[in-house]
Structure 1
Amino acid sequence: MANESPKLAEWVSFAVRDKGLTAVVSFREPPLAQEKSFTLEEFKALIEHQGFQYGVFADQELSAILDGWLQAMSDVPIAKGKPPEPSQDERLEFCFDTNPLPTPQLLENDRVDYRELGILQNAHQGQVLVRKIPGKWGEKGIDVYGNEVPSNPPKTKTLPAGQGTVIAPDGASLVSAIDGQIVYGRDQRVAVVPVHHVREDVDFSTGNIDFVGSVVVHGSVREGFTVKATGNIEVFGIVERANLLAGGDIIIRGGVQGSAKTRINAKGAIKALFVQNAVIEAEGPMVVSDSVMHSFLRAETLRVTGKRGLLVGGVTRVDHSVFARIIGSHLGTATRIEFVLLSEEKKQLTIHRTQLAKLEETLGKAEEALTKLHLIEERAGQLPLEQRQIRDRLLATRSAAYEERTTLQEEVQRLEAMLAQKTRVTIEVTAMMYPGVQLLHDHMEWHNNDFMSGCKLECTAEGWQRYV
């Protein structure tokens, strides 16, 4: 270059470090002082000759380096580039508590419910469990030559898909494929399982259970606790003055020791070893393997089987039939059995007939008003705007009423046909029915005052009939 000093070039050498982000100079042992006549301009010309364009130190700093050259020096920085900013890596956002701790629910007046611990986390099908937050490239840097220095690419994250989960089509989230319990395992994967297992008892260590799936309790359900499930509930121990609510079936292998406040309800069937002092309702059949004592039962049918096969006390309401070995007791304990299916159907039939009568009245008034408007239109040639609007509303009302009447008429015919079939209701006793047993069906009530062994009772239009 024009100002290059070959003499100075003999005493210095240049290099770059840190992937081009630092330029350094090394000096040999300096010449004698009287021969050391290098200038700042010569030094800057050498630096420029190396191609260093960015981050070169100011003149004051370069002069200080020359002035400090009293002996051999190595890797003295003379220029600093701009390092790239670190990129932000992708990260995962968990939409549930990955480490749920038992936390009693705080109620009003600073009271605490230790039965509501919030440990169990439910997921519904399609619910987002984990979101992937995109990474971001860091700002580019500049090396000492003036070139751009890209940042390292953001690191990607893999969605921790486990059993019962799927990755969304856009790849940005993990969603639940089923209804169930969220499980975050030691393998750092997220799963949704359809069955929640309680390994011991449902008590203060677990809190109440409210699950979108089926629940299996390997112990007992202790007093005052509640288990809710949209699927089935199975309890290997006893239900001890507790509540069970299932969208499917309920199986209680150890039986029910209840109280007036105990509620057990299933949309499906119920099976239990025994039932004592409880309120139990099933939309399907109910089977008890040993005994039912002083309880309120509601089911499609009831079978009390086993060696005892005892049904005594309380109220039993069924649709069709009751089977037991023994009904009542030798003490004459009041035991009431009601057949309610036809009563409920008759009630519904009465409601529909009342609705039909009101519809007929509405239709009659609409037809009368439309006839009057038609006569006015014939005389005047055209109805005024206000009366045309009234006519349009009447026509819409009449159309809706005709449609509703058709639906109700079909339902009335269905119910009348069902009642005409005179659905049979039966009670079968294989050992003994004691005095004190009351039977009720369609307002036909019968009180047993005898010791009746091995019999079958059926209600007909003439009343209760006994078959030995």
Structure 2
Amino acid sequence: MAEPAENKIKIPMIGLLAVKNLLITKEDLQKALSYCSGAENLALALKEYFLSKEIISAQNMERLLRAAKTIDLRQKEFKFGAVAIRKGFINQSVLKLVLEEQENDIKNKRKVRLIGDMLVEAGMMAEKQKNYILKLQERVREEVKKSSEGNATDPSSPSDALKPDPAEGLPEKSKTETDGNEQDAGNLREAEIIEGGIKLEISKDFMAAFLSKTDYFDDTVTLDAVKTALFEKGIVAGLAEDKMIEGFIRSSGFKTKSFRVAKGISPIQGKDARIEFFFNIDYLKVGDLTADGGIDFKERGEIPFVEAGTVLAEKIPLIEARKGHNIYGHEIEITPGKDIDLKCGKGAKLSEDGHKLLADVGGFPKYALSGHVFVHQEYTTEGDVDYETGHVQYDGNVNVKGRIKSGFKVEGNNIQAIEVDGGIITAEGNVKIAGGINEGKIYAKGNVHAKFIHKSEIICMGDVVVGKEIVDSDIECSGGCVIDGKLISSRISAKMGIKAKHIGTEMSGPSVIRIGQDIFTVKELEKNKAKIEHLKKMTEFHGEKKDKLKEDHLTLQKQITDLAHIQDRSQLEQKELNSKILALGNDTEAVHDLQKKIEQLQMAAKKAEESLDACFDKSDKIEAAMANEDREIEAIEKRRADLIDERNNLIKWAKENPGKPVVTCEGVIMPETLIKGKHTEKRITEMLRYSKISEVLCTSDQGKNLTIYEMQVGNI
């Protein structure tokens, strides 16, 4: 049976170097070890043995001792550097520089400086950090020393010290050379031969290093020699345990299969938190003209009604990033995940764990550009909006079962009515008019549907869909404009294009059509910017008010302190006067004078007390006013943050929905109709039938960098 690994003789470095430099043979070393096995200092005993037997000359012995001392120092220095990198005190580049400088000192036979001292002198490491590593190395050395003391070595079997049991000290997985230690040859860099005839292979991603034995493997190679060779290659992180490496050295295998000697730590990339919605938020997706001139509404459908308690959205938490490093100790870049908040508007609430958003009331869910989720209830008027009802403002959906009369306003989320007759609508969502819009003004962040539009102004973020005609109107939309009839004498801007049956008549003035341009978004961003600037000024205004209140409060505190001093002095003086009265005895006149002074002091103290009470009341009011200013600033900053989110979401939405500069007409386009794209325009000079007009990018033979757009007319 093989002896336990801990009972093996550790061969001194001078013996290994002597064999390596062919000064002695392995047999000479085995004989020397057997002869000196009982010595307390084996290295010193070997030195004296080789010199006394004249096997190695004094000059060569001196060289061996210097080399052994240098190797011992360098091993400690490599270990020092490895610990420094693992602790994050320095990086690989810094270690390489100081080791090279130390190597130059050795080659030029200058006094060798320790890399710890060099790093401290250069300001790259703190003295405390250096001492920490040195103490750690000393502790490790002492533990090794203690564990080796008292271990008996059998002098009769020196060969065992040189040729340990191949499987001794090697874990089961390594003995069988399986379980993940093998590597894919296609993922490895070119192999290198290092100390002791060992082949070193490194993965292309620098996340693993593998060792295997060549035909000329030196079985006398030591653990320290292998680790030094790895350190010299810069492999300092994720090294296998010493007993694993020793097991590799002693094993008779690992000639066809490899041993993984180092492994990096793979990073975990962060993943953004996201929100999963359980209701339709696609009202923000505008319609898109299809190739045949139709319009695709993405089948958005109706926004559903939800009951109270319905889960509307759930937050999928972010995955936090974890740093990793390769076998060289180089940190691998990671992308941190970004968090996102669930935002509740009116009618919605957060679950107890804060990860779900629930309907607080029954109603219609709505996702706003600011990121808030609302649940809107519905307000219904049974007749017209006129002098009887007055203006209608409702934080929810509005259903007008009549007309919206001239000059009257309706504000809400989704708004529907029978007709608009000079009325004004402001909607956070969609507008649906069963009849027509006549001389009306409509602003909507959704779509607008109507039977006809006459002499009206429509501004919306979505689509404008008209059943019969648009006459003498101004329309700006970020979606498409579809008229299942005529477009007459109007100014239309539709980012996603226009489709109509007829454009113009013989008796009407020409229409001006803009396509591919997002006028709505541009104006919204300008309004948003103005609101943000206004709120910023409001924050500054309230901040200045708070600063003024702070100054008043400090002045008041000084007054309170002064009044308190008056009271204190009054009490002291009264006490002194009372003492004098007692001392005067029967001197009535003097006592009377002193009593009069006491009364004056009491009146002054009372007046100070009244002033003090007034100051405290005023102080309370100032503190309340300061707290109110803080609340105002907090509320303003919250609104400002919402506007910034709204701005960012609007920009993102605009980028995700690029314009479609297309006009499709199933009937006639009359002459003088002006069609403007983002880059060019075209005035129709003759009657066109069944036409499709698109702004397209053309190639130019005159210059490679010349960009030319033109309006291209084709048939549908």
| Pair in the same fold by TM > 0.5 | no
Identify, as 1 or 2, the structure richer in strand.
Answer: 1
Please, what TM-score do these two structures have when normalized by structure 2? Answer: 0.28
Please, what TM-score do these two structures have when normalized by structure 1? Answer: 0.41
Identify, as 1 or 2, the structure richer in helix.
Answer: 2
